[in-house]
Structure 1
Amino acid sequence: METKYLQLNQIIAYKKSFHLSNLIWEITSNWDSFAKHTIGRQFVNAIDSVSANLAEGFGRYHKKDKIKFYYYSFGSVKECLDWNEKARVRKLINEETYSKIFATLEILPKEIHQLIKFTNEKLKI
């Protein structure tokens, strides 16, 4: 009997944040150089940090290490909410794009907390 292990690409928070990071990359790549080098760079770094920290946490052995990186990811989601708001207020993105990004950012903390809860309950180490 083969044991099936959870894979990174099966984690909903990871998949959503990875796809969102590519969307934000596409959007910010088209901004003028000032916007790209100020808000764009920060926004991309923050959103890339969400999936990257989920991946790094997933790759850690100990439960406490995993959860630490999942919390870093959670903090990056909150940072992205700020950058998304600034991009909207400064008219770098329209309301539709803002709402699309916001909808995913609003769901991610719940997904990350579910991952933390799962990790706490299922792992012994």
Structure 2
Amino acid sequence: MASFTELETWKQSRKIRKLISDLARGFPANEKFRLTDQIIRSSRSIGNNLAEGHGRFHYQDNIRFCIMARGSLTETLDHLIIALDENIITEEVLQSFQPEYESCLKLINGYIQYLKSKKLSE
């Protein structure tokens, strides 16, 4: 694979990053340096880690960054749950994010398994 931008996992993380960015614009001003900043950073970290891992020489390094991307994805979901609990978003908004989250999670897990199989065949 020539570029990380060809990875389906990265493409899905880009979609999530855009969804979160659009959603966060509607968060209250008093959350700017709290929840808004945190959720934007965690959503960006998903793709950042996938890109950084792709640029590493060894499969194990790439796997480690994929695991961090998976953690950032889960952190993003937790921030949305906090937004729900704080009445910043509705249950419907959270539920509409769920398929995107699950898709990205499956893609990351599949990519990790692929990398593990490549590592074993070295």
Q: TM-score, with normalisation over the residues of structure 2?
A: 0.88
The offset of 1:63, in angstroms, is: 0.8
> Structure 1 residue aligned with 2:97, among 98, 101, 108?
101
SS at match of 1:93: coil
- Cα-Cα RMSD: 1.7
The offset of 1:39, in angstroms, is: 0.9
Q: Show the 5 A alignment for 1:1-125.
A: 5-123=1-119
Return 5+ residue gaps in structure 1 as ranges: none
Alpha-carbon separation, structure 1, partners of 2:23 and 2:73: 18
Runs of 4+ off more than 4 Å: none
8 Å CA contact 2:45, 2:69 repeated in 1 = yes
Return 5+ residue gaps in structure 2 as ranges: none
The offset of 1:89, in angstroms, is: 1.7
Deviates more, 1:22-31 or 1:53-62: 22-31
The offset of 1:32, in angstroms, is: 2.1
Number of paired residues?
A: 121
**Overall identity of the aligned pairs, in %:** 26
AA of the residue aligned to 1:84? L
Task: Output one character per residue of 1:13-45: Cα deviation in whole Å (capped at 9) or x when no partner.
Answer: 211111111111111123221122211111111
Alpha-carbon separation, structure 1, partners of 2:106 and 2:6: 16
SS at match of 1:56: helix
8 Å CA contact 2:20, 2:40 repeated in 1 = yes
